[in-house]
Amino acid sequence: MEIQTNILFLQDILLPIVVAKQMVGLPKDLQNIVWEYLISFHKILRLPRLRAIKRLVAKSNQDIMDRFVFLQSLYPQHNIISFNVGLHLQNVPTVNMNLLVEAVVGSLRYNISSSGLRWVFLDQGLFTVGEYFQVFRTSLIFRVFTMTYFSL
C-alpha cells in the first residue's frame, strides 16, 4: 500500500513540478502542447485493462439474465414469451422488456459488477474511449438503456 501511494505521489504531484521546471524557457504555446501530451499519456496509462472490463461486462450480463429468468418465473400468468437477448431488442414483447428493465435496475442496485460497470463507464467517462465503448455496447445495461425511454 505504501509503495503504491509513493508511485501515485510521484506521478500526480512530483512529475508535474519537475516537468514545469524544465519547461521554463519554452514559449507558452509549446508548453501547452507538452502539457496536452502529458495529460493524454497520463489518461492512457490509467486506463483499466480491457480484459478486466470484458470480465466485468460478462459478470454483469450473467447477473441481469439470472434476475430476468427469476422475474419470469414470478409472472407465469402473463404468457411471457422466451427470447434470446441479443443485438435485437426491438422486437421484445412489452412484458419482457419491463421485466428486463427491472432486472437491470436490480442488478445496478445490488450487483457489484453492474454497479462497477456503470461507475467505470458513466461516472469515469470510459465510454469516450473507442475500444472500451465497443465492449460497453455488448453489455445488457447499454442495450436496455438505449431501448428504454424515460419520461421526466
Last residue of a domain, one of 30, 45, 60: 45
Question: What is the residue range of 27's domain?
Answer: 2-45
**pLDDT range class, residue 78, cuts 50, 70, 90:** low
CA–chain centroid gap for 46, Å, is 15
Which three three-digit cell numbers place residue 122?
Answer: 458513466
Q: Report yes or no on 32 lying in a domain.
A: yes
Report pLDDT for 88.
Answer: 47
* Between residues 126 and 70, the one the model is more confident about: 70
Asked if pLDDT for residue 73 goes beyond 50, the answer is yes
Asked if pLDDT for residue 103 goes beyond 60, the answer is yes
Q: Report yes or no on 152 lying in a domain.
A: no
Where is 55: in which H helix or E strand? helix 50-74
The set of residues, in sequence order, having a beta carbon less than 8 Å from that of 29 and lying 6+ positions away, is none
Mapped onto helix, strand or coil, the DSSP state of residue 140 is helix
134 and 62 fall within a common domain = yes
Do the Cβ atoms of 140 and 60 come closer than 8 Å? yes
Report how many domains make up the chain: 2
111 and 73 fall within a common domain = yes
41 and 78 fall within a common domain = no
57 and 118 fall within a common domain = yes
